[in-house]
Structure formats: structure tokens, C-alpha cells
């Protein structure tokens, strides 16, 4: 028989971050990081998408055709 415990750890405090670091290396622990409500439902961008947009903006602004490396 398997039992589970759900613990809510406040990671905004140093002691909470320490507890999380200790638990991350345990085989019996599965960490879940919920998305904060403030950003839930918003689009997330990959680093490639961000670099592509910055590259476009810089080239448009300066009239160049430079390629950025990710």
C-alpha cells in the first residue's frame, strides 16, 4: 500500500528553499511546480523566439541584417 503526503512549502523564505533543495535529491519525492495564477493562461516564449524577435527589432531599427546566435 502506498501513501502520499502533500506539503506546501513557502519558497520565498530561506528555510523553505533549503527544504526544497534537500527534498529534490530524494528518490521517493516527486516535485511539482504549479504555475502562479498571475501568469496562468499567458503565452510562453522559447529562447529562440525571443532572440528572433529581438533580432528583427534591432535590424529594423538600425537598418541592418545581422543574425544573433542563441
Residue 52 maps to a domain:
yes
Is 33 contained in some domain? yes
- Is 70's pLDDT higher than 90? no
Residue 52: what are its φ and ψ, rounded to 5°?
-60, -45
Higher per-residue confidence, 56 vs 68: 56
Identify whether 8 is part of a domain.
no
Tell me, yes or no, whether 22 lies in a domain. Answer: yes
Q: What is the DSSP string of 48-67?
A: HHHHHHHHHHHHHHHT----
The domain tally of the chain equals: 1
Q: Is the Cβ–Cβ distance between 68 and 57 less than 8 Å?
A: no
Residue 68 lies in a domain: no
Domain assignment of residue 45, given as a range: 14-62
Tell me if 9 is assigned to some domain: no
* pLDDT tens digits, one per residue of 43-59: 999 999 999 999 999 99
Amino acid at each position: 500500500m502506498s501513501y502520499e503526503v502533500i506539503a506546501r512549502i513557502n519558497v520565498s523564505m530561506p528555510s523553505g528553499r533549503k527544504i526544497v533543495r534537500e527534498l529534490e535529491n530524494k528518490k521517493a519525492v516527486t516535485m511539482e511546480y504549479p504555475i502562479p495564477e498571475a501568469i496562468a493562461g499567458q503565452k510562453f516564449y522559447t529562447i529562440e523566439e525571443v532572440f528572433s524577435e529581438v533580432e528583427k527589432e534591432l535590424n529594423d531599427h538600425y537598418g541592418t541584417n545581422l543574425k544573433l546566435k542563441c
